[in-house]
Chain A
Amino acid sequence: MAGLVLAGVTKALGGRVVIDGVDLTVGEGEMVCLLGPSGCGKTTTLRLVAGFLYPDSGRVLIDSVDVTETPPEKRPTAMVFQNYALWPHMNVFSNVAFGLRLRKLSKEEVRSRCEEVLRMVNMWDLRDRRPAQISGGEQQRVALARALVLRPKLLLLDEPLSNLDAKLRVQVRDEIREIQQRVGITSVFVTHDQDEALSISDRVAIMAEGRVEQVGSPDDVYRLPRTTFVAGFVGIVNRFRGRISGEGVHLASGPGPVPFAEENSKRLASEVAGEWDIIVRPEDVIVEPGVRSPNGGSPVVLVREVRRGHFKECIFGFCGASLGREQGMDALRIRAFLPAGGDVGARASIKFRRVLLYREGLLAHEVGSSEAGRSEGAPVGRTGW
């Protein structure tokens, strides 16, 4: 049973096609993030669902009911706005109660339902305050309560965390997720922050230029990005042009091939030998310290390291390769995540555990797997530096 279905939705604004044939299904009780850079159409999509915009073509179904032509006040949706949009002339309680009062509920019922949601977001004690008298995080929670009190079939969140500072953002994010799961409400969450999207949602829909590039669980989207755009937008990648053979990955303008970490990768690689767009996640780069590793990795040298809290992002260059820029920096730089860094200039050798091959922007093959690599115990936990 689907909570929300978008079928072939198209919308042009000001002569420009903003939404270009979007298909999306959100299951009941599921939280789906619309993730994408600014201008990709994610907020427009949300506004089409809320009813503030009507699609030029395509249908919008909520709980199997066609609401394409329905005005916003008749849709079973509730929205949390980016700027919260609390009514400044009403106190917290009245902001939450407004929708219920419109529905002509009895005074006692209005009060008990408001109390229920305001207690849920810990705002009951501040119910008599005006929005101007509470903090941004508190306004955020009131906005969420105002949306939930109507018991909507669909909760829409339009970048609700973008006005909060970094620490509060993580806290409120977790609160939203917790409440969403407790209430079991179907939700669509718009964000441009990949961390937010990956950590809060059941599935992520990545959008670019008015189209949905990929829909999948956060793990799937991260592990197998369907397009090079998705790979680049979600997480950090090493991206090269190069040739694949049984020996390994021959990077354009790099020295000899970078070998695969696993034996069975070689067989698969020889089957798909040829020119590809190659993407390797930093955690799939296996680093062995020292000049010559016993298993014959490709020699590299540490160029720079970036602290990332409990791990380090290490950037390597190839030994002996010219540091020319004609191929772009990525042609000669490899990023890897390591538990501890080393001195700049330190030597090491690398192998690729898992390589994604793209042609014309679309994923064609996955060579190697992270699971097998992990069972071998490399590289995280090995601290040779």
Chain B
Amino acid sequence: MPSVALLGRRGLIVALVLVLAFFILGPLVWLALWAFARSWQYPSLAPSGWTLSWWRTVLTTPGLDHSIALSFIFAPVVTAASVLICVPAAYGFARYSFPGRRALLVSLFATNAFPKIGLYITMAGMFYTLHLMSTFLGVVLVQLIGTVVFMTWIPAAAFAAVPRSLEEAARDVGAGRLRTFWHVTMPLALPGILVAVILSFLASFDESQGTFLVGTPRYITMPIQMYSLVLNYPQQAAAVFSILLSVPSVVLMFLVRRHVMGGRLAEGFQLK
């Protein structure tokens, strides 16, 4: 027979799980309800009726298709640029010691230490002089800033976690530096890099402040479109848009779940 203490502990765990579920799932459920609500006013507990009209409103917004397309162009481009710039840097941070290594690594946080909008306004000033305002490159650059930190830190940790003896074993059987990186280091660091890629993709996809400042009026991405929708339509439209905006994130998470959760990194070798 379970003791009172055990029952108490179980009860506590159940309560915690419920609270957590409420905080995580609650807003999502609420969002889903709103997206199909005809109207929903205090004090009624449920919407007064159901409708798909908000979906029609949102999906027929002029320029929406264009914003969706834009977002799906910017996010991959920014992520790819971020990978090209940051992953080699991450490898450098993980495998070589050079003067100023720590200072550089920490200074990457500096971009996140200030209110973003202040940084963006300064950047906008620079971009005017460089004729980057309202250009594709300008938007890519401003979105890139937000991805640099985790695109460097997470892969650096992943590279550092690859035991050197695995790389040495590859050199030993005849692989040069490049092949060793490609066949051993890279695959083993891949889960960490994938996490950074997802975060970077989503950061770019959801970025609004900088894009708004640098890109408008030429480049209206989905989040910026959402701002105007939220301002011009009732809450239901915003709910529909939020759901649309979260679709790519969910799809991405499912795609890479196996790789990230696989825990391959910890398998197969014994640490000294």
Interface residues of A (CB under 8 A from B): 50-52, 71-74, 77-79, 81-89, 98-99, 102-103, 130-132, 136, 139, 146, 150, 163
Contacts and interface: CB of A to CB of B under 8 A. Distances in A.
A86 B269 CA distance: 6
**Ordered nearest first, which 7 A-B pairs have the shortest CB separation?**
A88-B268, A99-B173, A131-B268, A132-B267, A85-B169, A85-B165, A72-B171
DSSP majority for the B interface? helix
B256 to A, nearest CB: 16
A52 B171 contact: yes
B173 A87 contact: no
Contacts of B184: 87
B264 A88 contact: yes
B187 interface: yes
Contacts of B270: 83-84, 136, 163
5 contacts: A72-B168, A85-B269, A88-B264, A99-B175, A132-B268
A163 B271 CA distance: 10
Contacts of B271: 83
Contacts of A74: 174
A180 to B, nearest CB: 18
Contacts of B265: 88
Contacts of B170: 87, 98
B216 to A, nearest CB: 45
Contacts, number: 88
Nearest to A163: B270
A79 B175 CA distance: 14
B166 interface: yes
Nearest to B172: A79
A99 B183 CA distance: 11
- Chain B interface residue number, banded: 20 to 34
Nearest to A78: B172
B125 interface: no
Nearest to B267: A132
Contacts of B169: 79, 81, 85-87, 146
Nearest to A97: B173
Interface of B: 163, 165-166, 168-176, 179, 183-184, 187-188, 264-265, 267-272
Nearest to A52: B168
A83 B172 contact: no
A67 to B, nearest CB: 13
B32 to A, nearest CB: 39
A72 B165 CA distance: 13
Contact of A73 (B165, B166, B171, B268): B171
A351 B72 CA distance: 92
Contacts of B264: 88-89
A98 B172 contact: no
Contacts of A82: 165, 272
A39 to B, nearest CB: 15
A102 B265 CA distance: 23
B268 A87 contact: yes
B268 A102 contact: no
Contacts of B175: 73, 98-99, 102
B168 to A, nearest CB: 6
A81 B169 CA distance: 8
Nearest to A98: B173
